Amino acid sequence: MMHVELITIGAEILLGQAVNSNAAWLGSELSALGWPVARQTTVPDTAPAVEKSLEEALERADLVITTGGLGPTSDDLTKAAAARLFSISMREDPVLLDRIKTIFAERRSPFPPGAGVQALVPEGAEVLPNDWGTAPGLVLRSRPGQFQERSNMLILLPGPPRELRPIFACHVAPLLKRTFGTETAWSRRVFRTTGLGESFLEQAISDALPPLLEQGLDVGYCARPGEVDLRVMAQTSKAELLFGEFERVLRNRVGPYIYSDQNETLEEVVIQLLRHQRQSLVLAESCTGGYLAHRITNVPGASDVFLQGFVVYSNAAKQQLLGVSDNTLSRHGSVSEGAAREMAEGGRQRSGATCGVSITGIAGPGGGSVEKPVGTVFIGIALPSGTQVFQFCNAFDRLTFKEVTSQQALDLLRRGLKGLPWA
C-alpha cells in the first residue's frame, strides 16, 4: 500500500483557533483516489518544527503533502524549510511575480510590501499554477538515496481552502495518477446510517463479518452527532465482490437506517426525494434557529423545492406567522405536541408547500423545567397524507442539539416521503 502523509503547518491549528479542515478534505480526496493517508502531523510555523516534520515524513512516505506556510507574512516558512532540506537554493520566478502584481492591480489594491516573496520558488521545483490566489503549489522530487533508497515526492500547497482545493483537483490529482498509477489504489465505500448507535450496528452484522474480513475487507465505524458511517475498504481487484456481499448483509439487517451509499448528506437525499416526487418544502424552526434551513440551502438547487423558512423564536412570531393558537400556547406552551403540529400545518397552509417540517424545543443551556427538561424537542412532519409529531430528548450542548435535532427532522421527512416505518 502506498504510504501517504499530510503535514499541516500553522500554530492556529495547534492553538485551536481553527479546525483542520484541509487535512479532512485532502484525506477524503486522497482516499477517493485510492491512496488513503497513513499519518497526518500538525506543527507550528517555526523553521525547526517544519523542517524536522518534513524530514521524518520523507523518511517514511512515498508522498508527502504539506498545507500552509506559503503566504506573504513573516510566519510563512515552508518553502525555505523544504529548500534547505533538499539542499537547493531559491529563485525568483518572473512569471509568478507578474501574475501577483496583476492580481493586486485588478483588485485596485496597492501591492503590499512582502507580497513578492510569493514569487520565490526552490530551484528545480515544478510550479502548480494558482488561479485562485497568489501562492502557487510546488512539487519537489528527491534523489534516490536522499531520504530513502527510492525517490519520493513532496508537494507544498497553500493553506486557504479555496486555493488548495482547486489546485489539488486541477493539478495534483492528475499528477498523482500519472506518477503512481492505479495499480497501487484501494477502493472504499461508505454506507451512511442514522437512528442506530455504533454498538448496535456492529452487533447487527457481527456474525456475518468474519469470512469477509478474512478475504481482506476492512470495516470501520465513524459516529457523528445523529449518524454513523460504516466504511469498507479493500484492494481494488477484490473490492466489487466483497462490497457487494457486505451490502447484502447490511441492507438485510438494517436497511431502513441506511440513507446513502453514495457519500451524500442526508439533506441531499431529502432534496432529491422531494424533487423526484414533485413536492415542495416549508420549514418552521424555533430552537434550531435556522440551522435546518442552512443545511437544506447548502444543497445546490435547493430552491427548486424549498419555498421558505421561518425562524420563530418568539411566541408572537409563532402566532402571527404560522397561526399557532392562543389556546395551544396558553394550555400546553410553545414546546408541545400541539404547537409543533400547528407550526408544521400552518407553515404548509400559508406557504402552499406540500410538506411542512416544524421544530420546537429547549436547546438550553437555560429554559428547562421538571416536565420539560433541557433537550426536550417536538418535531412535526406535515405531509399530504397527514401530520405526525415526534418527541425526543436531545440533552446536548447547543450546537450538537441543532445537529442531532435537524438530523432527526430530516430523517423523519425521508421516512415519510419513502413510506418507511417511522423508527
In the window 351-370, what residues touch a second copy (CB under 8 A)?
351, 364-366
Distance CA(5)–CA(402), nearest Å, equals 34
Give the residue among 352, 335, 348, 420 at the shortest CA–CA distance from 381: 348
Contact flag: residue 231 with a second copy (CB under 8 A): yes
Nearer to a second copy, 95 or 316 (CB): 316
Can you tell me which of 174, 179, 240, 313 binds a second copy, judged by CB under 8 A? 313
Contact flag: residue 283 with a second copy (CB under 8 A): yes
User: Applying CB under 8 A, which part among 5-13, 140-148, 149-157, 332-340 lies near a second copy?
Assistant: 5-13
Can you tell me which of 260, 308, 325, 387 binds a second copy, judged by CB under 8 A? 308
Site of grid cell 442552512 = 294
Q: Is-contact 152 176, C-beta < 8 A? A: no
Tell me how far, at minimum, the Cβ of 421 lies from a second copy, in Å: 19
Tell me how far, at minimum, the Cβ of 150 lies from a second copy, in Å: 22
Contact flag: residue 386 with a second copy (CB under 8 A): no
Contact flag: residue 95 with a second copy (CB under 8 A): no
Tell me how far, at minimum, the Cβ of 221 lies from a second copy, in Å: 5
Contact flag: residue 126 with a second copy (CB under 8 A): no
Question: Could you give phi then psi for residue 199, rounded to 5 degrees?
Answer: -60, -40
Cell of 75: 510566519
Nearer to a second copy, 236 or 400 (CB): 400
**SS3 call for 183:** coil
Give the residue among 324, 323, 321, 320 at the shortest CA–CA distance from 333: 324
- Interacting positions 7-36 with a second copy (CB under 8 A): 10-21, 23-31, 36
- Interacting positions 141-200 with a second copy (CB under 8 A): 160-162, 188, 190, 198-200
b (16+ CB within 10 A) / e for 320-358: ebbebeeebbeeeebbbebbbbbbbbbbbebbebbbbbb
b (16+ CB within 10 A) / e for 144-153: eebbeeeebb
User: Applying CB under 8 A, which part among 144-152, 215-223, 238-246, 251-259 lies near a second copy?
Assistant: 215-223
User: Applying CB under 8 A, which part among 4-12, 86-94, 337-345, 383-391 lies near a second copy?
Assistant: 4-12
Distance CA(37)–CA(7), nearest Å, equals 11
Contact flag: residue 257 with a second copy (CB under 8 A): no
Distance CA(34)–CA(13), nearest Å, equals 27
Can you tell me which of 9, 42, 376, 411 binds a second copy, judged by CB under 8 A? 42
Peptide bond into 365 cis (omega under 30): yes
Give 259's contacts (C-beta < 8 A, 6+ positions apart).
192, 193, 194, 266, 269, 411, 414
Site of grid cell 414546546 = 335
Tell me how far, at minimum, the Cβ of 124 lies from a second copy, in Å: 28
Contact flag: residue 292 with a second copy (CB under 8 A): yes
Can you tell me which of 92, 123, 131, 397 binds a second copy, judged by CB under 8 A? 397
Contact flag: residue 373 with a second copy (CB under 8 A): no
